C-alpha cells in the first residue's frame, strides 16, 4: 500500500477538513482572483454584495460612490444612528450604518460625481485598466452619461460589465425602480411566505434582504463564467441581472405546478407542505427568564423534523401524545387538516418547556431538531468561532467589529476577510494616482470643484 494512501485512510474526514480549512492558515495561501480589478459603481445591497463576493475571493475591488456623503446605504442602520465613524474626512462627525457593512468587505473606496464630464473621463481611464464593472443604477443611466457598456467596451474590449436592475433592460416593467421587498413581491416569493388564511395569517416579508444578497451571488457566478469565456476568446461580456427574475428562481415547484395543473401554491407558515413533521413549534418558556433584556423573555421556538414513519413513532412516544399515533403514515400526516392537529398537539406538549428542554428530549430519542437561535446565540456559539465564520475583526479604521466571513471554503485559494469598510473617498489619492496618473495638485482641484 502506498504511503499516501495509508495516510489518507488513517486520517478521519473531520481531521482532514480541520487541517485543510484551518482559519489560521487562510492568509498563508494564494487568492483565486488576485490580479483581477473590479469597479463597483453600486449602491444599497444588490450591486455591492456582488462585488463583495468577488473581493472575498481576492479581486481588487474599487467602490465608487458620490463625494462626501457616499452612497445611501451608508446612512441606513437600525435607529438611523450610524455606528461606524467616520463617514468621510469631509464630514467626520457622521458615521456609516451597520446595514451597509455586510456587502462591502475588502473594498477600496473612492468618490466621483458621475454627472460631471471630468468624472466621466476618469471612469474611462479606470475602465481601461479594469476587468469587471458592477453597476446597479436605473436602466440606461450610465449609457446615457456615456460611460455604459457600449461606450466603455470601446475603451476596453475585454471588459465584463454586469448591470443589476429590478426588471431588466427590456420589457414593459423595465423603467420601474426596484428594491429587495418589491422584487420578492412581484417575483412571487411573498405569495408562498407567511401564515395561511386559515390561521389568520398574511404574507410575510423576510427581515433580511434575501433577494439582494441572492442576486449579488447569482451575478457574481455569471461574472466568473464571463471571465472563463474571456480566457477562451479574449472577448468581454455584458451581463444583465433582473432582481425580479432572480426572485422567481427561488419558487421551486410553484410555477411548474401551476403550469401543469393550474394549482396556485399557498402559504403554509412555519410548517412544510410536503413533509410532516418538518416544521417549527413554539415552546412555552423563555430560555432566559431572568434576563433584564425584554427581547430575551419571549418564548422559544424549535424546529423538529420527524417525517419518516420510524422517527414519527419516536416523537409520539417522547411526547406521550398517544392520540397522534393514528397518523402513522406520511400520506396521512401531510394532509393540511392533520398537520394542524399534529402541530397543535406538539405545541401543547412543549407549553411547559424551553426550546433547550425540547431539544434534549429529542436528542435523547434520536430525533433531528434545532432550536431557533437569535443573533446572540449564533454569535456566541463555539462552532462558528472555531470555523472562523463569525469573529471580531480588528479593522484599521473602525476598530473591533463583529462580522461574518465568507461561507465557502477553498482548500488552496480560500476566500478571506481583510477589512470591514473604509470611509468615503479614503483611497482617492491612491487609486486616481496609480490608475489615472493624477497628480496631487490635480486631485486638489478635482476635489475643490466637487468632481471627487
User: Is 369 in the same domain as 402?
Assistant: no
What CATH number does the domain containing 342 carry? 3.30.1540.10
Domain shared by 338 and 243, yes or no: no
Looking at residue 398, which CATH number applies to its domain? 3.40.50.10540
pTM of the model: 0.92
Residue-level pLDDT, tens digit, the chain, 452 residues: 455 665 667 889 999 999 999 999 999 999 999 999 999 999 999 999 999 999 999 999 999 999 999 999 999 877 667 888 889 999 988 899 998 999 999 999 999 999 899 999 999 999 999 999 999 998 999 999 999 999 999 999 999 999 999 888 888 877 777 788 888 888 888 888 998 888 878 888 888 888 999 999 999 999 999 999 999 999 999 999 999 889 999 898 999 999 999 999 888 999 999 999 999 999 999 999 998 988 888 899 999 999 999 999 999 999 999 999 999 999 999 999 999 999 999 999 999 999 999 999 999 999 999 999 998 999 999 999 899 899 899 999 999 999 998 989 999 999 999 999 999 999 999 999 999 999 999 999 999 999 99
Are 145 and 212 in a shared domain? yes
CA dist., res. 419 & res. 319, Å (int): 49
Task: Please tell me whether residues 354 and 398 are part of one structural domain.
Answer: no
What is the C-alpha R_g of the chain?
Answer: 26
**Range of 309's domain?**
278-375
Task: Give the contacts of 253 (CB within 8 A, at least 6 positions apart).
Answer: 265
Residue at 263 is within a domain: no
Last residue of a domain, one of 375, 402, 418: 375
Q: How many domains does the chain have?
A: 2
Q: Could you give the maximum distance between any two Cα atoms of the chain, in Å?
A: 83
Q: Based on the fold, state whether residues 26 and 169 are members of the same structural domain.
A: yes
Inside any domain, residue 317: yes
Which residues touch 251 (CB under 8 Å, ≥6 apart)? 187, 188, 189, 192, 265
258 part of a folded domain: no
Residues 6+ positions from 258 with CB-CB distance below 8 Å: 264, 265
Q: In degrees rounded to 5, what are phi and psi of residue 80?
A: 50, 35
Amino acid at each position: 500500500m502506498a504511503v499516501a494512501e495509508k495516510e489518507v485512510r488513517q486520517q478521519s474526514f473531520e481531521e482532514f477538513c480541520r487541517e485543510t480549512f484551518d482559519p489560521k492558515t487562510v492568509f498563508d495561501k494564494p487568492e483565486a482572483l488576485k490580479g483581477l480589478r473590479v469597479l463597483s459603481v453600486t449602491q444599497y445591497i444588490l450591486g455591492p454584495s456582488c462585488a463583495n463576493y468577488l473581493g472575498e475571493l481576492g479581486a481588487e475591488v474599487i467602490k465608487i460612490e458620490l463625494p462626501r456623503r457616499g452612497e445611501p446605504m451608508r446612512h441606513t442602520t437600525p435607529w438611523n444612528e450610524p455606528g461606524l465613524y467616520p463617514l468621510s474626512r469631509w464630514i467626520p462627525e457622521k458615521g456609516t450604518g451597520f446595514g451597509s457593512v455586510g456587502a462591502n468587505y475588502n473594498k477600496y473606496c473612492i468618490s466621483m460625481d458621475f454627472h460631471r464630464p471630468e468624472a466621466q473621463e476618469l471612469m474611462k481611464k479606470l475602465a481601461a485598466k479594469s476587468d469587471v464593472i458592477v453597476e446597479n443604477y436605473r436602466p440606461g443611466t450610465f449609457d446615457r452619461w456615456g460611460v455604459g457598456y457600449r461606450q466603455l467596451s470601446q475603451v476596453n474590449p475585454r471588459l465584463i460589465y454586469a448591470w443589476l436592475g429590478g426588471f431588466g433592460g427590456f420589457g414593459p416593467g423595465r423603467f420601474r425602480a426596484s428594491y429587495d421587498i418589491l422584487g420578492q413581491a412581484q417575483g412571487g416569493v411573498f405569495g408562498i411566505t407567511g401564515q395561511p388564511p386559515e390561521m389568520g395569517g398574511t404574507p410575510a416579508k423576510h427581515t433580511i434582504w434575501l433577494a439582494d444578497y441572492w442576486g449579488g451571488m447569482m451575478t457574481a457566478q455569471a461574472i466568473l463564467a464571463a471571465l472563463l469565456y474571456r480566457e477562451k476568446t479574449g472577448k468581454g461580456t455584458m451581463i444583465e441581472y433582473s432582481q425580479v427574475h432572480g426572485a422567481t428562481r427561488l419558487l421551486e415547484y410553484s410555477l411548474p405546478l401551476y403550469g401543469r395543473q393550474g394549482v396556485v401554491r399557498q402559504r403554509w407558515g412555519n410548517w412544510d407542505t410536503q413533509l410532516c413533521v418538518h416544521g417549527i413549534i413554539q415552546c412555552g418558556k423563555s430560555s432566559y427568564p431572568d434576563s433584564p433584556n425584554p427581547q430575551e423573555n419571549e418564548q422559544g421556538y424549535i424546529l423538529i423534523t420527524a417525517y419518516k414513519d420510524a422517527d414519527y413513532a419516536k416523537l409520539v412516544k417522547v411526547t406521550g401524545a398517544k392520540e397522534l399515533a393514528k397518523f402513522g403514515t406520511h400520506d396521512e400526516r401531510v394532509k393540511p387538516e392533520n398537520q394542524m392537529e399534529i402541530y397543535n398537539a406538539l405545541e401543547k406538549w412543549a407549553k411547559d418547556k424551553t426550546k433547550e428542554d425540547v431539544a434534549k428530549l429529542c436528542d435523547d430519542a434520536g430525533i433531528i431538531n434545532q432550536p431557533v437561535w437569535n443573533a446572540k446565540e449564533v454569535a456566541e456559539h463555539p462552532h462558528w468561532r472555531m470555523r472562523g465564520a463569525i469573529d471580531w475583526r480588528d479593522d484599521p479604521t473602525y476598530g473591533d467589529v463583529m462580522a461574518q466571513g465568507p461561507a465557502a471554503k477553498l482548500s488552496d485559494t480560500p476566500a478571506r476577510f481583510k477589512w470591514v469598510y473604509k470611509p468615503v473617498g479614503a483611497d482617492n489619492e491612491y487609486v486616481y494616482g496609480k490608475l489615472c496618473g493624477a497628480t496631487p495638485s490635480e486631485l486638489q482641484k478635482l476635489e475643490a470643484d466637487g468632481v471627487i
